[in-house]
A and B are shown apart, each in its own frame.
Chain A
Amino acid sequence: MNDLLLAAAGFILMTVAVGFARVLRGPADVDRMMAAQLFATGGIAALLLVAHATTVPGVEDVALGLALLGSFASVAFVNGRADSTTESAEPEAESSQGEDRT
């Protein structure tokens, strides 16, 4: 049973590692970020499987932490690319001015 869990974990890790090739090839930065996202999810799955097979205590908390932070890099990436959205920032300025007036 444990061996099969470990085999599944190894398979998932190998799979997402091959997906890492998208980071090397990906024509745009978005593709690299998506490969990192796949890696994070696969990493969580492999972590849960390995932890069940080797009975490390307290590993559900590590998986919780990874799940919470898995999207952080994506959010920071989209955030960093939004540098030329001044036209969409205008409605926000107008609406906040409207709030100040009321």
Chain B
Amino acid sequence: MSFALDVFSLAAIGAGAFFFFAGMVGLLRFPDSLTRLHALTKADNLGLGLVVLGLLPQAGSLLAALKLIIVWVLVLLSGAATSQMIGRALRKGEDRK
């Protein structure tokens, strides 16, 4: 049972690391600031989310597992709000030009 949990953890963490890689590639290769913003949020949501999901079976206690999930929810929330704000600031900058 714990072996299956370990495999699950490693699979989730590996997938999370892949999404971080994808976010980095997007940040470096996409042509426009707005498209780069889009790539960034994928790393936030899926990258960190899968890593947290993979660490949940390894957490020591229920409180520790809850804290992990709260960390992910906070990053989701702040990522969503700041990408809206950055997008709006970018759009305003373009309109001014």
Contact = CB atoms under 8 A, between A and B. Distances in A.
Answer whether A and B touch in the complex at a CB cut-off of 8 Å.
yes
Contact of A34 (B14, B36, B81): B36
Interface residues of B, number: 42
A37 B29 CA distance: 17
B27 A19 contact: yes
Interface string A66-89: 011011001100100110110000
Main secondary structure of the interface of B (DSSP, over half): helix
Interface string B55-72: 100100000100110111
Interface string B71-94: 110110011011001100110100
Contact of A49 (B6, B55, B85, B89): B55
Nearest to A1: B6
A4 interface: yes
